[in-house]
Structure 1
């Protein structure tokens, strides 16, 4: 494959997100959520996503990242963005994988998604490895992320990457069901020392 200047380009890669990637970030995130979380979140919740607002939020996160070591990286298949990871630092985050008072910040993977048609091609592993390398360079000594109940694919992926459940759970509101009741989802925290 040739690049814009006629030279070769990588077939697959991970790079920092740049302004203009926000359209691809929303495309990847929405497609991944529809494929993976449709049953847990419900199609009615996913149908109400405000993709324009999501694009604005991703554009702001890329152009002017919030404090705390926040970063957005993208996985590319040739020139096409097919995955994303957003990450940041959490000051002295306690947990079984990292005892309280250790002094170093922890890292958090806020989002890690790969476009459904590009899964099982190594993009998720490259994104997670790049996220861990970035967090480690920023001084983190552990990483954690949250996994929705029922997301067995993510559990298997994280387990294979060396993360494990910590036994910490949280419940989040996820909108209103068609019958008017409030819908909630449960997540479990997974972590590893890096």
Structure 2
């Protein structure tokens, strides 16, 4: 009897050498996910090489030992990334409350379980870092991501904010915060 074929998929902590692959996923995902939210010229101007340098620096020396970048892999191909660390909101306790600040899957690899694996890796990482609760922010118009998170046990906590992406008020994104108990 033949064994069922399964993909070689995993998640792990990102290394500095992963920076170019993470940047490439970020550019593809932003251009797809934010096409209706952000100006076309801003998305067209995303430079994978410049982003890779930023990733390389942040991966080599995170500002806090509990800040982690995780990547999803299909064999040796980076299919997504997520960031975890202490919650940064003033109403959260940075000792007890962790945050998932980004959860991004390559548009060409969505629907294959990479997001679910990344989210589970985030929860496991936050627990290992002794956080007892977690929060994340989602664009108010991103019903798909919100539904994904709610199905995974996250729920709205009533907080909302508006991000000014350009600093001049010309590009803003409204977000809602979701939370979950890590116990």
Q: State the TM-score, normalizing by the size of structure 1.
A: 0.83
- After superposition, the Cα gap between the structure-2 partners of 1:181 and 1:162, relative to the gap in structure 1 and judged at 3 Å, is closer
The reply on whether 1:28 has 2:25 as its aligned counterpart is yes
Structure 1 match to 2:42: 45
SS of residue paired to 1:41: coil
Structure 1 match to 2:16: 19
Most deviating of 33-42 and 124-133: 33-42
Return the alpha-carbon distance in structure 1 between the equivalents of residues 159 and 139 of structure 2. Answer: 12
Residues 92 and 105 in structure 1, CA contact (< 8 A), matched pair in contact too = no
Task: After TM superposition, give the deviation of residue 94 of structure 1 in Å.
Answer: 4.3
Residues 91 and 104 in structure 1, CA contact (< 8 A), matched pair in contact too = no
> How well do the aligned residues superpose, as a CA RMSD in angstroms?
2.3
Alignment of 1:96-135 (within 5 A): 104-135=95-126
Return the alpha-carbon distance in structure 1 between the equivalents of residues 69 and 97 of structure 2. Answer: 17
Structure 1 match to 2:64: 67
Residues 87 and 134 in structure 2, CA contact (< 8 A), matched pair in contact too = no
Task: After TM superposition, give the deviation of residue 105 of structure 1 in Å.
Answer: 1.7
Task: After TM superposition, give the deviation of residue 91 of structure 1 in Å.
Answer: 7.8
Task: After TM superposition, give the deviation of residue 53 of structure 1 in Å.
Answer: 2.9
Return the alpha-carbon distance in structure 1 between the equivalents of residues 56 and 71 of structure 2. Answer: 13
Return the alpha-carbon distance in structure 2 between the equivalents of residues 80 and 92 of structure 1. Answer: 33
Task: After TM superposition, give the deviation of residue 42 of structure 1 in Å.
Answer: 2.6
- After superposition, the Cα gap between the structure-2 partners of 1:84 and 1:166, relative to the gap in structure 1 and judged at 3 Å, is same
What whole-Å deviation, never above 9, does each CA across 1:122-170 have from its counterpart, x for those lacking one? 1111111111111111110111111012111111111111101112111
Return the alpha-carbon distance in structure 2 between the equivalents of residues 122 and 158 of structure 1. Answer: 13
Q: Runs in 1 of length 4+ with deviation above 2 angstroms?
A: 48-53, 90-95
The reply on whether 1:156 has 2:153 as its aligned counterpart is no
SS of residue paired to 2:72: strand
Unaligned runs of 5+ in 2: 1-6
SS of residue paired to 2:78: strand
Task: After TM superposition, give the deviation of residue 60 of structure 1 in Å.
Answer: 1.3
The reply on whether 1:145 has 2:133 as its aligned counterpart is no
Task: After TM superposition, give the deviation of residue 72 of structure 1 in Å.
Answer: 0.6
What whole-Å deviation, never above 9, does each CA across 1:88-116 have from its counterpart, x for those lacking one? 02389746xxxx7xx95211011110001
